[in-house]
Structure 1
Amino acid sequence: MDFEKIFSDKLDHCYAIMRISALGRDFLVVASEENQPCYAYDLDNEFARTTVWPDVGGTMTMVPLPGTLDFLATQRFYPGFNSAKCRIVKESWNGQGWDQRVLGDFPYIHRFDIVPKAEGEGFWFIGCSIANSKRDTDDWSDPGKIWVGEYDEQAEKIINQHALDIRITKNHGYKRMDGYSLITGVEGIFKLTWPTAENDWVLEKLSENETSDIYSADINGDGNEEYLTIEGFHGPYLRISDHHFNTITRSQADTPFGHAIWGGKLGNHDYFIFGWRAGKQNLELITSDQLDSQLIDQQVGPSNATVFEKDGKQYLFSANREANEVAVYAISQG
């Protein structure tokens, strides 16, 4: 598999990324985790850049609203993890750029999601706080919560919000699945099944392993998805597990500050993509369930990466945080 960097731009501490496509327009969006801009790049106009917002930043998560170019995003998740002033904003497409409205304060919310209700009307809200309170950045004595509720699209606010009966220390990972979400922390990996007409929110533990981030793909072609997990808060270990969370392979401690993670089909096969922000700061393609890998880029320290398709071709979009670089790589069969 070949990766050719076809576009790059500078953005200090670039972190959150998203591809958003609707209404005949198509953008890549990236935001900084510092007091820096959020940019949108036009995929139909040679990556022409629009500033979504010029400063504030501190953005950990961005979530598109289906069928629109509107999206929700966190801001003010700084300094570090001592983010009591974190908030969620809505960015509304006005035909040329985005207008901002503050939905409210959401202290310590690191990952959140807006997922469609099973009945097809409206959205559920899921918000995961990395802590509930802090005396300082290194204080983890008051574990985070999983907040659930509803996103009222007309009123543009979160309603009926309440915390589930669980506390998770150092929550960092979140992955939307089909009808449920995977949420990770020191206490392990949890499955949060979304409400239906018959059932309320259901939370169950899938693994006891301390986990920072998680993704799934059928990397060995056995017909079942495997899980790639970053273990320890921001690493340093990688583990591949089968669909029952039985360990297939666990790495040695050589990937410090593991952060960027993606899994899915490239060409005709499933792969994982992984990057870490310390040491070699590599961005790598994981090619087997034994953690064999191919170098994509080095000394870039990616925070987040995702693959997208455009005009029948695949591309990798990466926020290379430690290099302060927004990057797009064309993917081709080697």
Structure 2
Amino acid sequence: MKFSKIFSDQLDHCYAIMRLQALDRDFIIVASEENQPCYAYDLDNHFKKTTVWSTVGGTMTLVPLPGSLNFLATQKFYPGFNSQHCRIVKETFNGTGWDQTVIGEFPYIHRFDLIPQPESGAYWYVGCSIANSKKFTDDWLDPGKVWVGTYDDEQAKLTDLRALPIRITKNHGYHRMAGYSLITGAEGIFRLDYPSQTSDWHLQQLAQKETSDIAAADINGDGQLEYLAIEGFHGSRLRMYDANFNSVATSKFATPFGHAIWGGEIAGRDYFLFGWRAGKQGLELIKDLQLDATLIGEHLGPSNVTVFAKNKQQYLLSANREANEVAVYQISTK
């Protein structure tokens, strides 16, 4: 597998990333976690750059609104994790750029998602706070909450908000699956099932090891998903789980400040991608259950990565945070 860098741009502390494709337009969106810009790059026009916003960054999460070029984002998740004034904004595409509406302040919300409700056209909201309150940045005595509610897009408003009973310390990771979501923290890995006509929201613990982030893929081709987890808060090792969350393997070499993680299909089979932000600041392709990997690059320190396809060609988008670089790599098997 070969990863050839075809595009690079500078963005200080680049962090959140997203593919945004609708209405015959096609963009990648990249935002900074500091008081820095968010940029849109036009995939149909040689990565032409548009500034979505120029200041008030601190963005941890970007969420598209299906069928449109509008999206929601967090801002002001700073300084560090002491983000009492974190807010969610809506960005509405106006034909050439984006207009911003502030939805409201949601303290310490690190990850959030909008889940389309079956048949109704409305959205469920899931918001994961990394803590509930803090006296200083490294104060973790008041664990985070999982907030649920409803998002009304016409009014750009969140309603019926409530916190689920389980509290999660250092509630950092979130991954949407088919019909449920995975949420991670110091207490382990949790499954969040969405409500139905006969049941309410349900949060179930799947594993007890402290986990920072998680991704899923069928890496051995057996028809069942495996899970790759960054163990410890921004931890320095990986753990592979089978479909039932039994431990399969752990990494042999330290990868300090593990952060970027992705799982899915590349060139006809499933792989994982993993990047870490300290030490050699590497990005690698994980090929099997034993965590055998191919190094893509060092001194990058990626915060988030994703793979997307365009014109039958696959690409890797990486927010190389420690290099202050937005990078796109073309993927080939030759």
TM-score range, shorter chain: over 0.9
1:25 CA drift (Å): 0.4
Letter in 2 for 1:229: A
Tell me the SS of whatever aligns to 1:167: coil
Tell me the SS of whatever aligns to 1:305: strand
1:197 CA drift (Å): 1.6
Report what 2:83 is aligned to: 83
Report what 2:274 is aligned to: 274
Q: What are the equivalent positions in structure 2 for 1:180-329 lying under 5 Å apart?
A: 180-252=180-252, 254-329=254-329
Distance 2:197 2:309 in 1: 35
Distance 1:251 1:317 in 2: 24
Deviations 1:91-136 (A, max 9, x none): 0000110000000000000000001012342000000000000000
Letter in 1 for 2:65: L
Distance 2:121 2:13 in 1: 37
Tell me the SS of whatever aligns to 2:28: strand
Deviations 1:138-182 (A, max 9, x none): 100000000000001111110000000011000110000111110
Tell me the SS of whatever aligns to 1:144: coil
Identity %: 67
Distance 2:299 2:19 in 1: 24
Distance 2:240 2:25 in 1: 37
1:13 CA drift (Å): 0.1
Report what 2:153 is aligned to: 153
Deviations 1:234-269 (A, max 9, x none): 011100110001111011351100000000110111
Deviations 1:262-299 (A, max 9, x none): 00110111100000000010010001110101011110
Answer yes or no: is the 8 Å Cα contact 1:213–1:261 preserved in 2. Answer: yes
Q: Which blocks of at least 5 consecutive residues in structure 2 are unaligned?
A: none
Q: Does 1:125 align with 2:129?
A: no
Q: Does 1:54 align with 2:81?
A: no
Distance 1:299 1:156 in 2: 40
Letter in 1 for 2:55: D
Distance 2:65 2:287 in 1: 33
Distance 1:179 1:119 in 2: 14
Letter in 1 for 2:145: K
Answer yes or no: is the 8 Å Cα contact 1:118–1:196 preserved in 2. Answer: no
Tell me the SS of whatever aligns to 1:29: strand
Report what 1:141 is aligned to: 141
Tell me the SS of whatever aligns to 1:165: coil
Letter in 1 for 2:77: F
> Normalising to structure 1: TM-score of the pair?
0.99
Tell me the SS of whatever aligns to 2:322: helix
Deviations 1:289-327 (A, max 9, x none): 101010111100000000000000000000000000000
Deviations 1:175-202 (A, max 9, x none): 0011111000000111001111221101
State the superposition RMSD in angstroms: 0.7
**Structure 1 runs, 4 residues or longer, greater than 2 Å off:** 118-121
Tell me the SS of whatever aligns to 1:166: coil
Answer yes or no: is the 8 Å Cα contact 1:149–1:158 preserved in 2. Answer: yes
Tell me the SS of whatever aligns to 1:162: strand
Point out the more displaced range, 117-126 or 61-70.
117-126
Report what 1:41 is aligned to: 41
Letter in 1 for 2:169: T
Distance 1:146 1:213 in 2: 16
Distance 1:186 1:224 in 2: 26
Distance 1:196 1:118 in 2: 9
Tell me the SS of whatever aligns to 2:164: strand
Distance 1:53 1:4 in 2: 29
Letter in 2 for 1:66: P
Letter in 2 for 1:45: N
Answer yes or no: is the 8 Å Cα contact 1:6–1:328 preserved in 2. Answer: yes
Distance 2:328 2:318 in 1: 6
Distance 1:120 1:324 in 2: 41
Distance 2:35 2:224 in 1: 42
Deviations 1:17-61 (A, max 9, x none): 000000110000000000000000000000000000001100000
Tell me the SS of whatever aligns to 1:322: helix
Answer yes or no: is the 8 Å Cα contact 1:217–1:272 preserved in 2. Answer: yes
Answer yes or no: is the 8 Å Cα contact 1:91–1:101 preserved in 2. Answer: yes
